[in-house]
Amino acid sequence: MELVKSQQLLSKIATNDKHGENSPYFDGWKAYERNPFHPTKNPQGVIQMGLAENQLCFDLIEEWIRNNPKSSICTPEGVHQFRNIANFQDYHGLQEFRNAMANFMSKVRGGRVRFDPDRILMSGGATGANELIMFCLADPGDAFMIPTPFYPGFVRDLCWRTGVQLIPVHCDSSNNFKITREALEVAYKKAKEDNINVKGLIITNPSNPLGTTLEKDTLKSLVSFINEKSIHLVCDEIYAATMFSSPTFVSVSELIQEMEDCNRDLIHVIYSLSKDMGFPGFRIGIVYSFNDQVVNCGRKMSSFGLVSSQTQHMLASMLSDEKFVTKFLSQNQTRLKKRHEKFSKGLEEVNITQLPSNAGLFCWMNLKSLLEETTFEAELKLWHVIIHEVKLNVSPGSSFNCSEPGWFRVCFANMDDEAVDVALSRIRAFVGKETKKPVALKRWQENLRLSFSSRRLDETVISPHSSIPKSPLVPAT
Ligand X SMILES: Cc1ncc(COP(=O)(O)O)c(C=O)c1O
Active site residue 238: yes
Residues at the contact surface with ligand X, assessed by CB under 6 A: 52, 125-127, 151, 153, 204, 208, 236, 238, 272, 274, 280, 285
Shortest CB 269 distance to ligand X, Å: 12
* HSE-CB for 464 with a 13 A CA cutoff: 14
User: Smallest Cα–Cα separation from 184: which of 202, 207, 197, 196?
Assistant: 202
Give the residue nearest to ligand X (CB): 125
Shortest CB 253 distance to ligand X, Å: 17
Active site residue 342: no
User: Smallest Cα–Cα separation from 120: which of 325, 279, 333, 315?
Assistant: 315
Crossing angle (nearest 10°) for helices 309-320 and 322-349: 90
Dihedral (CA of 98, 99, 104, 106) sign: positive
Catalytic pick among 47, 238, 256, 352: 238
Q: Nearest-5° angle of CA 245, CA 418, CA 47?
A: 90
Shortest CB 100 distance to ligand X, Å: 18
CA 198 to chain centre: 24
Contact 387, 351 (CB under 8 A): no
Amino acid identity, residue 263? N
Beta bridge pairs of residue 175: none
Beta bridge pairs of residue 243: 359
Active site residue 236: yes
Active site residue 151: yes
- Cis before 209 (ω within 30): yes
Judged by CB, which is closer to ligand X: 400, or 430?
400
Judged by CB, which is closer to ligand X: 272, or 393?
272
Distance CA 147, CA 396 (A): 17
Distance CA 467, CA 421 (A): 32
Judged by CB, which is closer to ligand X: 37, or 150?
150
- Cis before 247 (ω within 30): yes
Shortest CB 254 distance to ligand X, Å: 19
Shortest CB 246 distance to ligand X, Å: 21
User: Smallest Cα–Cα separation from 299: which of 98, 86, 123, 96?
Assistant: 123
> Strands 395-396 and 407-411, how do they pair?
antiparallel
Judged by CB, which is closer to ligand X: 154, or 324?
154
- Cis before 472 (ω within 30): no
Judged by CB, which is closer to ligand X: 211, or 285?
285
Catalytic pick among 25, 151, 188, 239: 151
Q: Nearest-5° angle of CA 291, CA 297, CA 299?
A: 95
Contact 78, 69 (CB under 8 A): yes
Catalytic pick among 236, 239, 352, 387: 236
Q: What is the DSSP letter of 36?
A: B
Q: For residue 285, what is the enclosing H or E element? A: strand 284-289
The four Cα atoms 337, 341, 347, 350 give a dihedral, to 10 degrees, of 180
Shortest CB 131 distance to ligand X, Å: 10
Judged by CB, which is closer to ligand X: 203, or 294?
203
Q: Which positions ≥6 away from 114 have C-beta within 8 Å?
A: 102, 106
Shortest CB 209 distance to ligand X, Å: 8
Shortest CB 178 distance to ligand X, Å: 18
Shortest CB 66 distance to ligand X, Å: 25
Determine the 3-state secondary structure of 151 from DSSP.
coil
Catalytic pick among 275, 284, 381, 386: 275
Dihedral (CA of 135, 141, 144, 149) sign: positive
Judged by CB, which is closer to ligand X: 127, or 398?
127
Judged by CB, which is closer to ligand X: 187, or 240?
240
Judged by CB, which is closer to ligand X: 191, or 286?
286
Catalytic residues: 151, 236, 238, 275
